Copies of this chain bind each other. A is one copy, B any other.
Amino acid sequence: MQLGLSVSDSDVSSFTPLVVLELADDTKAEAITWLLNRIRDKQQNGGAELLVNQLLFPAQDDQKPNPNVFLVGSTLQRLLNGAEDVGLFKEFQDGTMRGFTYANRESFKDFNGEIFLSDAECQYIIKHELDTLRAKNEEHVPGYPKLKLYPGKSVVRRLQSKGVLIQYFPLHNKEDLKRLSFSWYKKFKLSFQPLDDIRHYFGEGLALYFGFLEYFTFALVPMALIGIPYYLFDWEDYDKYVLFAVFNLVWSTVFLEVWKRCSATLAYGWGTLSRKKAFEEPRAGFHGALGFNPVTGREEPVYPSSKRQLRIYLVSVPFVLLCLYLSFYVMMVYFDMEFWAINIYNENPDIATSILLFVPSIIYAVVIEIMNLLYRFAAEFLTDWENHRLESSFQNHLVLKVLVFNFVNCFASLFYIAFVMQDMVLLRQSLATLLITSQILNQVMEAFLPYWLQRRRNKKVHKRMRRLMGDKELPLLGQVQLETEMNTYLGTFDDYLEQFLLFGYVSLFSCVYPLAAVLVVLNNITEVYSDAFKMCHVFKRPFSEPATNIGVWQLAFETMSIIAVVTNCALIGLSPQMKAYFPESDTQLILIVVTIEHVLLAFKFILAFVIPDVPKHIQVNLAKLEFDSLEALKKRVSTHLEGVSGGLNATLSKHYSTKRIRLQ
């Protein structure tokens, strides 16, 4: 019985496994041989030039383990070249961030230090190299005549979309993980999250999410602090919320503007701010008839945009509208229940019936969560069926579908109570129940449940391993087997969505229920811990994703803050306090409120326009970079004129001596 690595490459000692590649256990041998050869092949032959070793699990009695698990690693030289390929930015000697180039490697800070490329960066580079491993002249995957290939098609994506490649994921680094989790959530003291460490381990995308979560929580603290005395002393005085609404209005505007600057500062420090976006490949699931890509001129599947439009407008849009209708219908049922509960309470007011008052809201909150969940699956299916060519376009359509529905589903009843029924007591009660119930449900669904499932699975694996090998230490083998069976983290979508809805509750209606901010702060503090825990111990390690900002969510939050301005103005207009000022005519009150609202909206846009998105000192650094490259470009002219008859070589070196000047 062979245990551990079957080493097929020469240098065993230097092999650090970074990425796990799992193929289906019935994969044909010739396909495996072909794939491994392509991965190992030299770059000039079109290979990825990475190291791959098969991981052989010991055979077990009860179930046969998958024999087709491979570990991928790389030499340092290859990783450095890859870092240049993916356009990694690193800190230069002078403290600015610059695009890494192999030729200038010595000029980068810490190049000769212990860790120049973090684990996450290495894994990202390997993922990029695997993803861009392209078919040459193969017509199909060896052994699978139906798995057609054409020159330039990404091999890994084809294998993945057809189920031959089950998954590939980065391995955890146990030591780093221990250190990270200790500084992140194991010590209970008041401190910021170790965002740089998180970024080192999980990449920029996730670190930005946690940065946003932290920022949002801190930004809510003043509102929570104002909310508590409001709640304690003015609880029954519904008239006093005008001041609080004004505060909300200013807060929601400033909040997002400041975040943009924070986000730019973080992204600059991580080197993603000036990084260019890579040319986007088609999604793994994209399909179509072979045609010519107008951009690359290559033969590849093409799907007519008109067909996609038809699918969107004839199926997706009606479906979304139907769901919205359903959501309204459920809302109406909820109001019926509400009236029924109130009637019972009015007939016989005691403790039991006063508890009953909250039951409809709780049921409604649970139903909302379930509908959101079901809709999410449907939206993903539909968006996939729309067959978008690019992942970004897929994501945009998915986010739009989900946001519209979630917004209506969560807030429609509150808007109805506030502006149609104009019942502020019911609004307050409804908001509180919705908020608390959905928070509890969320924490259970997203942290405790997966944790519990994962623990059960862990125990089973541990038991199996122990039975097989006694007390022999086989850390790598056990680790791979454990992590292979962990759930996959599906990205920050759900986490941002939750924060988006919380932001909505707080910015739209917190003036009538000042405790909302307090609840959200409490929720977010536990959220940090549970999210941190779930990233470190419940899910597979995700590939790091270079992110410059929170992307489409910035837009979503900004839209919400505009809606918040309108809503808060309307709530102010409805307040008895304001009505007291204009006892004789509603018209005047409405006109004044509308005017104020327009001024505020104008002010908001001017503010967004005037506040620079990138802080001054980072602007200076970016300008410095640009200036340097322009200077270098100017110098080349004199270089060129000196050796004017140097032919091709001189012409070449003339063009981009940006690098040469630094080398000299």
Q: Which residue of B lies closest to A49 (CB)?
A: B641
Which listed residue (B279, B594, B655) contacts A103, Cβ 8 A? B655
Q: Which B residues touch A631, using CB under 8 A?
A: 296
Contact B295 A623 (CB under 8 A): yes
Q: Decide yes or no whether A351 CB sits under 8 A from chain B.
A: no
A158 to B607, CA, bound (A): 37
Asked if A634 is at the interface of the complex by the 8 Å CB criterion, the answer is yes
- Within the complex, what minimum Cβ distance (angstroms) separates A565 from chain B? 11
Chain B hits for A85, CB < 8 A: 633-634, 637
CB proximity to B under 8 Å, residues A60-82: 81
Is A620 an interface residue when CB atoms closer than 8 A count as contact? yes
A24 at the interface (CB under 8 A from B): no
**Bound Cα distance from A637 to B83, whole angstroms:** 12
Residue A341 lies at the interface, judged by CB distance under 8 Å to chain B: no
**For residue A657, which residues in chain B have a CB less than 8 angstroms away from its CB?**
652
B103, A651: Cβ atoms under 8 Å? yes
In A627-656, which residues have CB < 8 Å from any B CB? 627, 630-631, 633-634, 637-638, 641-642, 648-649, 651-656
Q: How far is the CA of A512 from the CA of B578 in the complex (A)?
A: 35
Q: Does residue A586 face the partner (Cβ distance < 8 Å to B)?
A: yes
Residue A598 at the chain B interface, CB threshold 8 Å: yes
Judge if A663 is at the interface, Cβ distance under 8 Å.
yes
Bound together, the chains give a CA A598 to CA B570 distance in angstroms of 13
Nearest-neighbour CB distance to chain B for A68, whole angstroms, equals 29
How far apart sit A648 and B657, CA to CA, in the bound complex (Å)? Answer: 12
Asked whether A515 is an interface residue with its Cβ less than 8 Å from the other chain, the reply is no
| Residues of A77-136 whose CB lies within 8 A of B | 81, 85, 101-103
Count this chain's copies in the assembly: 2
Provide the residues of chain B in CB contact with A551, threshold 8 Å.
none
A663's contact among B279, B634, B642, B648, by CB below 8 Å, is which? B648
CB-CB nearest in chain B for A87 = B633
Given known pairs A587-B586, A649-B649, A655-B101, the reply for A642 and B295 (CB within 8 Å) is no
Q: Which residues of B contact A638 (CB under 8 A)?
A: 43-44
Closest residue on chain B to residue A653 by CB atoms: B652
CB atoms of A279 and B630 under 8 A apart: yes
Q: Known contacts A279-B626, A566-B598, A641-B42; is A659 also within 8 Å of B663 by CB?
A: no
Q: Digit string of A601-631 for contact with B (CB within 8 Å is 1, else 0)? A: 0000000000000000000100110110011
- A591 within 8 Å of B (CB atoms): yes
Cβ contacts under 8 Å, A279 to chain B: 626-627, 630
Q: Name A450-506 residues within 8 Å CB distance of B.
A: none
Are A642's CB and B566's CB within 8 A? Answer: no
C-alpha spacing A590/B278, complex, angstroms: 51
Tell me if A304 is interfacial: C-beta within 8 Å of chain B: no
Chain A 133-150 interface mask (CB, 8 Å, partner B; 1/0): 000000000000000000
Contact with B along A1-42 (1 / 0, CB 8 A): 000000000000000000000000000000000000000001
Q: Is A162 an interface residue (CB 8 A)?
A: no
Residues of B within 8 A of A586 (CB): 587
Complex: A634 Cα to B566 Cα, angstroms: 51
Interface string of A149-171 (1 = CB under 8 A from B): 00000000000000000000000
Q: CA A654 – CA B655 in complex, angstroms? A: 12
Which chain B residues lie closer than 8 Å to A81 at the CB level? 637
Taking a contact as CB atoms under 8 Å apart, the answer to whether B655 and A659 are in contact is yes
The answer for the CA separation of A278 and B631 in the assembled complex, in Å, is 11
Task: List 20 additional contacts besides A101-B655, A103-B652, A655-B656; criterion CB under 8 Å.
Answer: A42-B641, A43-B637, A44-B638, A44-B641, A44-B642, A85-B633, A85-B634, A102-B651, A103-B651, A103-B655, A279-B627, A294-B624, A295-B620, A295-B627, A590-B594, A594-B594, A648-B663, A649-B649, A651-B663, A656-B656
A residues apposed to B, CB below 8 Å: 42-44, 81, 85, 101-103, 278-279, 294-296, 566, 586-587, 590-591, 594, 598, 620, 623-624, 626-627, 630-631, 633-634, 637-638, 641-642, 648-649, 651-657, 659-660, 663
8 A-B residue contacts at CB 8 Å?
Answer: A44-B642, A81-B637, A279-B627, A295-B620, A295-B623, A594-B594, A652-B653, A652-B656
